[in-house]
Structure formats: structure tokens, C-alpha cells
Amino acid sequence: MSRNVIDVTDLTVEEIGELIAVAEDILAHPAKYQDLCKHKQLATLFFEPSTRTRLSFESAMLSLGGSVLGFSEANSSSAAKGETVGDTVRTVSCYADIIAMRHPKEGAPYAAAQFSEVPIINAGDGGHNHPTQTLTDLLTIHREKGRLSNFTIGFCGDLKFGRTVHSLVNALSRYENIRYILISPEELKLPRYVKEESLKKRGISYTQTTDLDSVIPELDVLYMTRVQRERFFNEEDYLRLKDSYVLTPEKLVHAKPDLSILHPLPRVNEIAVAVDRDPRAAYWKQVKNGKFIRMALILKLLNIPA
Ligand code: NCD
């Protein structure tokens, strides 16, 4: 049975530590890794739009000396003819050694994994989870802060539909002494199941607020997110909520000098472009980190020693 990563907790904390160490080593010595996946193939099955996740997976495999195949929209696959994800994945696992899959339906990568002969990586399932973005976020926090414990993190924006938030809250709940401040409009609060399963079950407390300004001075990490238009049931609600938070240089005046600002991207309007010049902005470094942690993950799931 091959090893899948559907949920971030499919990896132990120790394994995540190893992946971070390998990613750091790849960043420092990329040439050492350039042939490790020779003759291996990665399939990217994207039933939903993507820029960073799909291209970083592809770039990761190419930088390991492997090759890539796949599709980037459901309409160009037999899904358009009514094929099930199970049959699609069963087919693709005849051609590829490892599969990264994104799908608008929650649980689709889990269902697909039941039909696959090769490892399946969840590259985002609906409003549920996004474990490889979380690995990217953990690598970024580790590089920026030098630790994965003892800090205060604010999650800001669409905490209801933001799958990157759900996965990162879940992942961080296994580390020591993290304070969570959940900043969102009333309608876009973190779902109850995430609070129950990731926080309350582990006895972790959190603060909820609608006001970013009042908590920004307390934060070591600020995780901004976009309002997830495609998951709304009506456009009016989206239009009303989309600009709930806009991070500007003025808002950052009272933030800590060593704050790290993360965002999984794409950004719509929630971080002013002027913030990009602030040394606390870490989101473009985060984009780059995404490739290297995915290289480490591909090696691990293919059982190729780094
Ligand atoms: C995120 C996603 O797809 O969930 N993007 C990404 O993978 N970096 C965040 C988002 O779309 O808002």
C-alpha cells in the first residue's frame, strides 16, 4: 500500500521536521538533488484552478530530474464525460509514480486514494484541507522565526472556507505554546469542526475577534487570507465581505518589528501592494519555499533517500 498525504497529520511531527531539514538542504545545495528522480513521473490532476501549487509541484519534480504529466482543468479530462475520480486515478496510476490532485469536492483525494496504486498527495480539496500549503507555511515560519513553537499567530480573513487555514491550525496544534487569534467577520469564522478536532480536543485555547487593529501589536505571525469567492452561495454576500480586511503600511505601524506576514496567495485586495516592500512581508519567500518542501515530500513518498 503506498503512502498518501491527504491530511497534514498523515505525517508525524518528526517527519515534518525531517522534510523541513531536507528542504533547507535542497535550498542550500540544489545540485545534489538534481538527478534523484530520474525516470520518475509526477502526475498533476487539477480539477480546480491553481498557479503556485501546480507549478511548484511540476518545478519540484523537474528539479529532481523527473518528468511531469497531467491536466490543469477538469474540462480537458474525461471528468467532462462523467468519469469518476476513482476511475481517473486508477488510470493515471498506471502511468505515473506519484499523483498530486486538487479537486473542488471535499474528500475527493481521499476517495481517489482508495483506487490508486501510487502515492496520492492532496493539493487542496474544496473548503477542507491543503496539507502541502501547510508544509510550505511551516517551512516559512521555521525559516523566518527559527522555531515552530512559542509564538502568537493571527489568522485573518476567510477562516470558514480557507482550507489553508484549516490545515495550518491542525498542524500547529501539535507544537508547543502557540497562541491563536482568529480574526474574521462573524459569517466567516473558523468552522466548529476545526475548533473541536484541532484545538479543543488538545485543550488549546484561542481568541476570536472581528478587529485586526486591536490585536496586531500582539502577533509574531500574521496569516492573511483571501475571501474565497468560489465557495460562496451568493455573490451579494461575497461583495459585502470581500474587503473586510485590507492590510496597509499604516495598519502595520503598531505591529512588532519582527512580525512575519504570510499569505498562501493569490492575493486579491487584502494586502496592499505597498506592504510588499516591508521587510516583514514573507509571502513571496513563502512562494519560493513551496517548491523546496514539495521536492522533499516527493522524495519521501517515493522512498528515495535524500
Ligand atoms: C490557496 C488555495 O488554493 O487554497 N492557494 C494556494 O494553493 N497557494 C489559497 C487560496 O486560493 O486562497
Please list the pLDDT of the chain residue by residue as tens digits (306 residues): 689 999 999 999 999 999 999 999 999 999 999 999 999 999 999 999 999 999 999 999 999 999 999 999 988 888 889 999 999 999 999 999 999 999 999 999 999 999 999 999 999 999 999 999 999 999 999 999 999 999 999 999 999 999 999 999 999 999 999 999 999 999 999 999 999 999 999 999 999 999 999 999 999 999 999 999 999 989 999 999 999 999 999 999 999 999 999 999 999 999 999 999 999 999 999 999 999 999 999 999 999 999
Q: Cβ contacts of residue 136 below 8 Å, gap of 6+? A: 264, 286, 289, 290, 293, 294
The C-alpha atoms of residue 51 and residue 81 are separated, in whole angstroms, by 25
pLDDT at 75: 87
pLDDT at 102: 98
Mutation test residue for ligand 1: of 51, 53, 284, the one with most atoms within 8 Å of CB? 53
DSSP notation for 150-164: SEEEEEES-TTT-HH
The C-alpha atoms of residue 138 and residue 131 are separated, in whole angstroms, by 10
Question: How much distance in Å is there from the Cα of 265 to the middle of ligand 1?
Answer: 6
Would you say the CB of residue 263 lies under 6 angstroms from ligand 1? no
pLDDT at 195: 98
pLDDT at 172: 98
Q: Judge contact between 53 and 123, C-beta under 8 A.
A: yes
224 strand-pairing partners: 156
pLDDT at 76: 84
**b/e code 84-106 from CB counts within 10 Å (16+ = b):** ebeebbbebbeebbbbbbbbeee
Would you say the CB of residue 133 lies under 6 angstroms from ligand 1? yes
Atom of ligand 1 lying closest to residue 48 CA: 3
- Phi/psi for 222 (5° steps) reads -120, 120
Element (H, E) at 209: strand 206-209
pLDDT at 23: 98
Question: How much distance in Å is there from the Cα of 32 to the middle of ligand 1?
Answer: 30
Distance from the first to the final alpha carbon of the chain: 22
The C-alpha atoms of residue 182 and residue 169 are separated, in whole angstroms, by 10
Residues involved in catalysis? 52-53, 81, 102, 130
pLDDT at 206: 97
